[in-house]
A and B are shown apart, each in its own frame.
Chain A
Amino acid sequence: MTDAQVTERVNELLAEEFELKMEDMKPEALFKDDLELDSLDAVDMVVVLEQEFKFKIKKDEAFKAIRTLGDLHEFVLAKKLEMAA
C-alpha cells in the first residue's frame, strides 16, 4: 500500500465506523471539535485500526497526543514503517 492508499483507507474506516462524510475527512480536521468524536469513539477507533492494520496501539503514548486526522495519518504510517522494519 502506498502512503496515499493508507490514509485513504484510514479515512474510509473512520467514515464508516462513525458515520462521517468523506468530504469532511480533511487532515486539519480536529477529532473533538470538527468530527465530534469523544473518548468512547477513540477506544473504538483503536479497535478498528488494530483489526485492519494488525498492529498494536493500546498503551502507545504517541496515540494520546493525536488531535487531528492528519496526526492520525502520520501515526498510522509510522506504525506501518515500524512493522516493516
Chain B
Amino acid sequence: MRRVVITGMGAISPFGEGVQLLMEALTAGKSGIQQLEELTKIKGLHPTIAGKVPRYEFKSIPRKHRRTMSAMSIFAILAANEAIAQAELTPETITNGSCGLSVSSTIGSVQALQSFFEKFLDGMSIEAIKSTEFFKIMNHSCASNLAQYLGITGRVIAPSAACSTGCQTIGLAAEAIAFGKQDIMLCGGADELHPLTVGTFDIIQAASTEYNDTPTATPRPFDKDRDGIVCSEGSGILVLESLESAQARGATIIAELTGFSSTSDPVNPASPSPEAIAKCMKLALENAAVAPEDVDYVNAHATGTELGDAAESAAIASLMSDGPMVSSLKGHLGHTMAASGALEIIATASMMKNGLVIPTRNLLDIAPECQGIRHIQTPVRAKIRTALKNNFALGGINTSIVLRSYDD
C-alpha cells in the first residue's frame, strides 16, 4: 500500500474565495451565517438564516464549460484551481491519465431541478427545456463538469452520501492512490444553498430556528442552547497524491492522510448511535495504525443538533476519553453539506501546519450530554501530530479520516 499525502488545497466558503480567507476568518472567530431574504418567502419554513458564498468571479470559466454548470460546479472549479496552483500540477500531469477525480455533492442542482419542473409542469411540456439543464441535475454534475473543464482522463467517481460526501470522496480518493490505481486524485465536495436544503432539515426538525434575529449565535455545537443545523454552501478540493509522486515532483507536502473508514449505521436513518460512530473512528485509527491515546485533535462533525452532538461526544469519550482536544467548525461555517468534510479537513490540515487549534464557536455552556471530552473553547497553541476528522450523514453513513503531520 502506498502512502498518501496532501499537496494542494482550495476553498470557497461563506468567507469568500481561498483557503487564506477561510483560515483568517476561522482564526478570528468569525461567523459566516446571515439572514437571507429568499428564505422568508417560503411558506412554512422556519429558519431564515444560512451561510452564503459572497460574490464570486466565474466569467473566467469559458461558456462552453459553464453552460452545464450550476453554482456548485463553479464553486468546485474555483476551489480546484486554487488546489492545483498550490500543488503546482502541470496541465500534462492533470490530463495524462495518472490523475483522477473524486468529487461530489449531496444532490444535483436543486435550482436546475426547480427550473426544469417549472417548465415541465407548465402544461406537462418539455418544449422549453434547454439541452444543458440535465447536466446540472445529474448526480455527478460537479465531478463531470470538473473533469471536462480540467481535461482529466483518469478515473472520475462521484460517491454521494449526504453530509458524509466530502469525507467519503477524500477517503476513496486516498484508497485509489494507496492501491496504485492513480498517482494523483483531486477530491472533495461542493454544494449550493437552496431553500429546499434548509427545508429538508426543518421538516425533520433538525434545523436551528430560534436564532433568526441573531444569526451569528447559531449553530451552537455541543452547547446546552443548541437547537439544530444551519445550512451553508461552498466547496473544498484537495490534491492527494502518492508520497513517491509528491517527492518525484518536489512538491511541498502539507500533511499525510493515513487512515479512512466508512461504515453504515442501520439503526436509524436520522439519528446516529454512539456505538456506530465509535466503531467508525476506531476503524479509521486502526487503518492508520494509530492508538486512540495518540490522537491529539478531533475535528468533530458536530452540527449543533440535539442528538448528533450528544452521540458524537459519547462516542469520542468512549474511545478516547478526555485525551484529544475536540472542536467543531460548524459554529463558524454552518453546515456546508457535501463541502463540509473537505473544508474542515483543509482547516484541520492548516491547524496542524500552524500549530493552532481553533475553538468551537458559540460553545459557551457545554451541555451535560456533551461532556466527558476535552472541548476547546478558546484558541490553543499546540503541536498536532495526529488528527481525526469525523463526518456523519442522514441515511446512517459514517466516515472518519486520520491525518498525520508530515515532517519525515
Residues in chain A within 8 A of chain B (CB atoms): 18-19, 36, 38, 40-41, 43-44, 47, 50-51
Contact = CB atoms under 8 A, between A and B. Distances in A.
B130 A47 contact: yes
A47 B127 contact: yes
A44 B127 CA distance: 10
Contacts of A18: 63
Q: Number of contact residues on B: which range applies? A: under 10
B interface majority secondary structure: loop
Contacts of A50: 127
B129 interface: yes
A40 B127 CA distance: 15
B64 A44 contact: no
Nearest to A40: B131
B63 A19 contact: yes
A38 B148 CA distance: 15
B130 A44 contact: yes
Contact of B132 (A19, A36, A44, A51): A44
B132 A40 contact: yes
B63 A43 contact: no
Nearest to A39: B131
21 contacts: A18-B63, A19-B63, A36-B64, A38-B64, A40-B67, A40-B131, A40-B132, A41-B67, A41-B131, A43-B130, A43-B131, A44-B130, A44-B131, A44-B132, A47-B127, A47-B128, A47-B129, A47-B130, A47-B131, A50-B127, A51-B128
Contacts of B67: 40-41
A41 B129 CA distance: 13
A48 B131 CA distance: 11
Contacts of B128: 47, 51
A37 to B, nearest CB: 9
Contacts of B132: 40, 44
A55 to B, nearest CB: 12
Given A38-B64, A41-B67, A47-B130, 11 more contacts: A18-B63, A40-B132, A43-B130, A43-B131, A44-B130, A44-B131, A44-B132, A47-B128, A47-B129, A47-B131, A50-B127
A16 B64 CA distance: 14
A49 B313 CA distance: 59
Nearest to A38: B64
Contacts of A36: 64
Interface in B92-133: 127-132
B368 to A, nearest CB: 58
Contacts of B63: 18-19
A75 to B, nearest CB: 19
Contacts of A41: 67, 131
Contacts of A47: 127-131
